[in-house]
Amino acid sequence: MSDWMVTQSSGSGRRPRALSPLREHLRDTFWFAPTAAMVGVFLVWVGAQALDAAIVEALRDDRDYDTLDELLRFAEDAKAVVSAVGSAMMTFIGVVFSISLVAVQMASGQFTPRVVRLFVRSRITKATFAVFLATFVLTLLVLTSFDSAGDPRTVTTVPLVQSVLTLCMVALSLLLFVLYVNTTLRLMRISHVIARIATESFRVAASMPVPTGGQDGAARLGSATAWVPHEGRAGVLRDVHITRLVRVARKHGVVLRLIPRIGDFVVPGMPVLAVHGGPVPPRRALRYAISVGVERTYHQDLGFGLRQLSDIALRALSSAINDPTTAVQALDRIVQFLAALSRRPLDAALYRDRGGAVRLVQPVPGWTELVDLGFAEVRGCATRSPQVSRRMLAGLDDLLLLVPPERREPLLRHRELLRQAVDRSGPAPADRAFALRPDRQGIG
């Protein structure tokens, strides 16, 4: 067991920040960014229109009709450009994002449906969509500003600033389109998707509090004196507000123990917190301390990355896709992640208050569970591909060199089970020996 502090003086570990339901909702939707961009461009257009009116009024006060006449000729040319941009932009938006939907569908079918989350939460995708729509709205607004009067003495406004602003928005749209295409193509390449999943997984591990001792605080809790049921909607436990729970437990002199793990599905009435050493704290004090959603997130979920990597490897080894090289790439990251956790305390996280007393016990996946998550299902399909079995054996051998003796058992178990499975499925002794030869590249 590990003792992890939540006080700011607990070491170099960064304290996990609770998920904001509103922020997560906005990040998982597409409506907010385009709406904010259209509102923002409307306000900018109002300012540009006032500036154009001020320029025309100043020139008329100075009786500089020659300059006004030149501006009117410029406005005629600008009107043609703005009209062309307005008519083409909406078609451009439809074509681009139709292709994007096809790309997302192909990626979810080839990799795993959970990678769609990468597309939905992509900032460059939302920024591109928002700027495209804002440019289209701006062209419509600018077209309404053109004055039908052709006489410099009677004209009231010439959309000079507005036209320049429109051209700037078009340039920004083209730049974002190039970046968007580059990002989308990267997300469609399996190596980048796997690397992105691994990066998020390591970020979760890095954000976990730094171990500060070796006392077995969870074993001294004793029996639970009360239970706190889940009162919200049914869904996946995404996050707990660690700081708030520790503060409540300290205030009422109790220890709280989270019963489900992050990523578990909870239903109303299910016990989510066990109280040790006193009565249940008031319900209002625990409000918003537990976040439930429709899908798992990387936040505080140590096993979610391994789950996705395992899914990608399984999909690659299916008879419909039959891509063992992708499975090997997923195994590379699985081994990397397990190697990083090979000597870290697992099983439970103990959070302490500023006085050093344990106030919150949060279950986390243990070493055996993480090894099983990374290898068990892939091992069942590895017998059909010598490339995968060789890479898995090499990965298990590498991990056996890294882990302490007490963590070798699950690795040895998977190694033996893989050997037995290959012996049962191999058609010839030479083929079985080839499939059981460790190779970090699978087959070159």
Looking at residue 11, what is its pLDDT?
A: 36
CB atoms within 10 A of CB 49: 18
Q: Which pLDDT band holds residue 77 (cuts at 50, 70, 90)?
A: confident
Average pLDDT, the chain: 83
Residue 7 has pLDDT above 50, yes or no: no
Residue range 348-358: average pLDDT?
83
Q: Which pLDDT band holds residue 418 (cuts at 50, 70, 90)?
A: very high
| Least confident piece of the model among 160-164, 337-341, 346-350, 395-399 | 346-350
3-state DSSP: the chain helix, strand, coil percent, rounded to 5? 60, 10, 30
Percent of the chain with pLDDT over 90: 29
Looking at residue 3, what is its pLDDT?
A: 38
Looking at residue 9, what is its pLDDT?
A: 32
Residue range 393-418: average pLDDT?
94
CA atoms within 13 A on the CB side of 248: 22
How do 265-266 and 271-276 pair as beta strands? unpaired
Which residues share a beta bridge with 237?
A: 292
| Least confident piece of the model among 332-341, 352-361, 404-413 | 352-361
Scanning 111-189, the segments in alpha helix (DSSP H) are 116-120, 123-143, 160-188
Q: Which pLDDT band holds residue 90 (cuts at 50, 70, 90)?
A: confident
The CA distance from 198 to 262, in Å, is: 18
pTM of the complete model beyond 0.75: yes
Compute, in degrees rounded to 10, the torsion defined by CA atoms 15, 19, 22, 23: 60
Order of strands across the sheet that contains 358-363: 2-5, 348-352, 358-363, 255-258, 271-276, 226-229
pLDDT (tens digit per residue) in 328-337:
999 999 999 9
Residue 339 has pLDDT above 80, yes or no: yes
Looking at residue 112, what is its pLDDT?
A: 75
pLDDT (tens digit per residue) in 220-264:
677 888 888 998 889 999 888 888 899 999 988 899 999 999 999
DSSP H or E segment with residue 92 = helix 65-110
Q: Which pLDDT band holds residue 63 (cuts at 50, 70, 90)?
A: confident
Contact yes or no for 329/185 (Cβ under 8 A): no
Contact yes or no for 156/295 (Cβ under 8 A): no
The CA distance from 130 to 153, in Å, is: 39
Scanning 13-31, the segments in alpha helix (DSSP H) are 21-27
pLDDT (tens digit per residue) in 190-224:
888 899 889 888 888 887 765 554 445 555 677 88
Tokens 């961009």 map to which residue?
37
Q: Which pLDDT band holds residue 149 (cuts at 50, 70, 90)?
A: low
Question: Which is nearest to 255 in space by CA: 117, 126, 353, 140?
Answer: 353
Residue 10 has pLDDT above 80, yes or no: no
